[in-house]
Amino acid sequence: MAAHLVNSRYPSLPWLLMQSSWLAFLLSLPFLLFAGQSRAMAEDTRHVLVRDITTIEGIRENPLIGYSVVVGLNRTGDSQQTQFTTQTLANVLQRLGVQIPAATIQVRDVAAVMVTGSLPPFARPGTTLDVTVSSIGDAKSLEGGVLLLTSLHAADGQVYAEAQGALTLGGYTAGGGGNSKVVNHTTVGRVPGGGIVERDTSIDLKHLKILSLALREPDFTAARDVANAINHEFGKELASALDSRHVDINVDQSGVSSVPTLIAQVQNLTVSIHPPAKVIMNERTGTIVMGGDVKLSPVSVLHGDLTVEVTTTFVVSQPLPQSTGKTEVVPETDLRAHDKPARSFQLKEGANVEELINGLHAMGATARDIVAILQAIKAAGGLQAELEVL
């Protein structure tokens, strides 16, 4: 009896362990739910470096353009009717001391071209750059050609670089006459490292007081997060978001010894971005691209096909025997209409565009049908995203 009293007052050890396990589970349940919500929130955001979403104002490339000729072609250059090619070649020869009338020059091995390139930031004399050479006459191919010395001008009309060298093409031409084969564009080529910078365009960063970052895609939230990340890194209020695209940084208050060091430190910061809910459609190709967390309100889609065919045939109409009529050709029109049963499906609250696309594919809708249906859903207020049609 004593043993029985002891067992009833003080439960056995296995029973205590079981009760403790349930208590621990119940206490940990809120933390598990919070962790699940945190993971769900993390999936909606994306962590990127500041360098990937911003550029620095004033530090950019500048386009360059020039005009010249390509020589050394295998009878695939401009024809004799391309007068500016002969005039250009005559001017080049004249500067080299050769006097020859432009009308007597055969230009089948020469082609007039436009030369384009980009002047990189902080370019100094001697910096090399790639240039693109494009035919502007009626040349058939620039394969095997050499670009003559070309002055490359910027928008202000000043010469910033010179270009010259052998061309590399991404295609070729084989055969001739009615039996020929052309692969890719043979009238556009590149001269890797063929351009040389002749004018100093570097920017002096020593006296820079305000460093301005420009977001590649305007977003007030992203601009605020970039400014907060910079202020948190330096422990002081030295960055501020001016608008949805610009973030200014006070260089003097940063305490960094040099501006390049400040730029490197800022660009390597990590921020969280929220992709915008956007749907981009191309009606010409039927291409649909979805970005961000695009949601749909409850909608019902009804889609059916109505095909109307009208055919016209011509028959010979002959008059009755011993009548005064004459034989004629008259048209006969046949009208047929085919109306297929409408197909439909429903989407619940919070459905995404992927579920919509899968449902439309199950209905047999084509890409162009999907474009029209998305536009109709947007007009009805069921698409909670920006719709852009290219």
Query: How many CA atoms within 13 Å lie on the side-chain side of 192?
Result: 3
- How many C-beta atoms lie closer than 10 Å to residue 360's C-beta? 20
Strand pairing of 246-250 and 239-241? Answer: antiparallel
Q: Helix, strand or coil for residue 10?
A: coil
- How far, in Å, are 210, 303, 304, 333 from residue 339 at the CA level? 67, 12, 8, 20
pLDDT at 340: 64
pLDDT at 379: 82
pLDDT digits (tens, 9 = 90+) for 151-196: 999 999 999 999 999 999 876 666 665 566 666 678 999 999 999 9
Contact predicate 317/327, CB 8 Å: yes
pLDDT per residue, tens digit, the chain (390 aa), is: 444 433 444 444 444 334 444 444 334 434 333 344 444 444 456 789 999 999 999 888 999 999 999 999 988 889 888 888 888 888 888 888 888 887 777 778 899 999 999 999 999 999 999 999 999 999 988 989 999 999 999 999 999 999 999 999 876 666 665 566 666 678 999 999 999 999 988 888 888 899 999 999 899 999 999 999 999 999 999 999 999 999 999 999 888 888 999 999 999 999 988 877 888 887 777 777 877 677 777 777 676 654 445 565 666 667 767 666 677 766 766 666 555 666 666 767 767 777 777 777 777 777 777 777 788 878 877 777 888 877
Strand pairing of 179-183 and 188-197? Answer: unpaired
pTM score, two decimals? 0.66
Phi and psi at residue 368, in whole multiples of 5°? -70, -35
In whole angstroms, what is the distance from residue 168 CA to residue 328 CA?
A: 67
**Can you tell me which residue has the tokens 């004249």?**
94
**246 dihedral zone (left: phi>0; alpha: psi -120 to 50; beta):** beta
End-to-end Cα, the chain, rounded Å: 90
In sign, the C-alpha dihedral spanning 80, 83, 87, 92 is negative
In whole angstroms, what is the distance from residue 55 CA to residue 61 CA?
A: 12
In whole angstroms, what is the distance from residue 281 CA to residue 290 CA?
A: 9
pLDDT at 334: 66
pLDDT digits (tens, 9 = 90+) for 42-78: 445 678 999 999 999 988 899 999 999 999 998 888 9
Angle of the 259-267 helix axis to the 220-234 helix axis, nearest 10:
120
Q: Which residues contact 170 (CB under 8 A, 6 or more apart)?
A: 184, 185, 189
The single-letter DSSP state of residue 141 is -
Query: How many CA atoms within 13 Å lie on the side-chain side of 51?
Result: 8
In whole angstroms, what is the distance from residue 264 CA to residue 382 CA?
A: 44
